[in-house]
């Protein structure tokens, strides 16, 4: 699909290790943002029904005149659409908004355990994959108990779990569970929503490589084997975030990054108590 690094998935597929995030990208800016990113060389775009920008992203895809088969598109099932029939319908609506006939990756956005429907939703995703309407299926914000439940009840292991992950919150325990099942780990909020970027340790590593703090943090994800999807709406930062394939971190840098991990590093909601 691209000459960028690819991550092999447990269903025989593969996805680009690097892509564009789009949480908080407004609908009316999404087409411009996608065109900029595709022109720079991005080949993977991540969105979600709840982001409210699928239509704009789809317009950007068409306007960029890139062959649809050359771009890997991910979207996600929103919590209010959990359930078997409801998830199938929500998938159709997302595809329609994106203007696509087939999706690359569909994720359950949150387990939303209080709704008690994520296993039914997962069965719907399994059907969509069997029908060839989506190439790979996975989850987001699933804790080990949720992973074990869907795998136990359906026998189908998700290809990906997209979770909050950045140097302040490295999620070692969950990553070990993923490794056991062959689930690829995808980092959301990879830049810690910008809060990491004035950290003195990160600044020192950036100076050493003649790169920006954001670039060395993105490189940390890549060198850690993670799928990384930094979000930006700024053309300069979209370009900057892509300029990470000409250097690597060394053991000393990786050790310094390891020291930033914190049990209190979570910035977003906890999957068990998220209020939605």
Among positions 239-258, residues that touch ligand A2P (CB under 6 A) are 240-241
232 binds ligand A2P (CB under 6 A): yes
Q: Is 118 a catalytic residue?
A: no
Please count the residues of the chain: 276
**Which span sits near ligand A2P by CB under 6 A: 38-46, 66-74, 86-94, 235-243?**
235-243
Among positions 160-199, residues that touch ligand A2P (CB under 6 A) are 189-194, 197
The residues, ordered by sequence, that sit 6+ positions from 255 with a Cβ below 8 Å of its Cβ are none
Q: Which is nearer to ligand A2P, 117 or 228 (CB)?
A: 228
Please report how close the Cβ of residue 109 comes to ligand A2P at its closest, in angstroms: 15
Q: Quote the CA–CA distance of 6 and 17 in Å, as a whole number.
A: 5
Please report how close the Cβ of residue 198 comes to ligand A2P at its closest, in angstroms: 10
What is the number of alpha carbons within 13 Å of residue 129 lying toward its C-beta? 21
* Catalytic, out of 51, 106, 118, 181: 51
**C-alpha torsion angle, residues 17, 19, 21, 26 (rounded to 10):** -170
**Which span sits near ligand A2P by CB under 6 A: 59-67, 111-119, 130-138, 229-237?**
229-237
Task: Lay out the site mask for ligand A2P across 3-22 (x = CB under 6 A, - = otherwise).
Answer: ------------------x-
Q: Which is nearer to ligand A2P, 129 or 168 (CB)?
A: 168
**C-alpha torsion angle, residues 52, 56, 60, 63 (rounded to 10):** 160
269 binds ligand A2P (CB under 6 A): no
What is the number of alpha carbons within 13 Å of residue 143 lying toward its C-beta? 10
Q: Quote the CA–CA distance of 202 and 217 in Å, as a whole number.
A: 7
DSSP string of 107-144, one letter each residue: EES---GGG--HHHHHHHHHHHHHTTSEEEEEEES--H
44 binds ligand A2P (CB under 6 A): no
Give me the active site residues, please.
51
| Residues making contact with ligand A2P (CB under 6 A) | 21, 189-194, 197, 212, 214, 230-234, 237, 240-241
């Amino acid at each position: 699909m691209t000459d960028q690094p690819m991550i092999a998935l447990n269903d025989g597929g593969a996805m680009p290790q690097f892509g564009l995030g789009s949480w908080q990208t407004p609908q009316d800016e999404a087409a411009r943002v996608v065109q900029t990113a595709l022109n720079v060389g991005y080949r993977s775009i991540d969105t979600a029904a709840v982001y409210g920008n699928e239509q704009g992203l789809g317009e950007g895809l068409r306007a960029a005149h890139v062959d649809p088969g050359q771009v890997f598109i991910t979207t996600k099932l929103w919590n209010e659409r959990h359930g078997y029939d409801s998830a199938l319908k929500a998938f159709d609506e997302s595809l329609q908004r994106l203007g696509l006939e087939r999706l690359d990756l569909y994720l359950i956005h949150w387990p939303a355990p209080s709704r008690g429907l994520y296993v039914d939703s997962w069965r719907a995703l399994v059907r969509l994959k069997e029908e060839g309407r989506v190439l790979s299926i996975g989850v987001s914000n699933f804790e080990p108990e949720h992973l074990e439940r869907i795998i136990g009840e359906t026998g189908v292991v998700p290809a990906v779990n997209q979770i909050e992950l950045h140097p302040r919150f490295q999620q070692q325990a969950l990553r070990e569970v993923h490794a056991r099942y062959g689930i690829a780990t995808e980092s959301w909020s990879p830049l810690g929503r910008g809060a990491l970027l004035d950290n003195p340790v990160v600044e020192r590593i950036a100076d050493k490589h003649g790169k920006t703090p954001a670039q060395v943090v993105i490189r940390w994800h890549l060198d850690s084997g993670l799928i990384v999807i930094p979000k930006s709406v700024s053309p300069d930062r979209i370009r900057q975030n892509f300029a990470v394939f000409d250097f690597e971190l060394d053991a000393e840098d990786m050790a310094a990054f390891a020291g930033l991990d914190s049990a209190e590093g979570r910035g977003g909601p906890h999957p068990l108590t998220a209020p939605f």
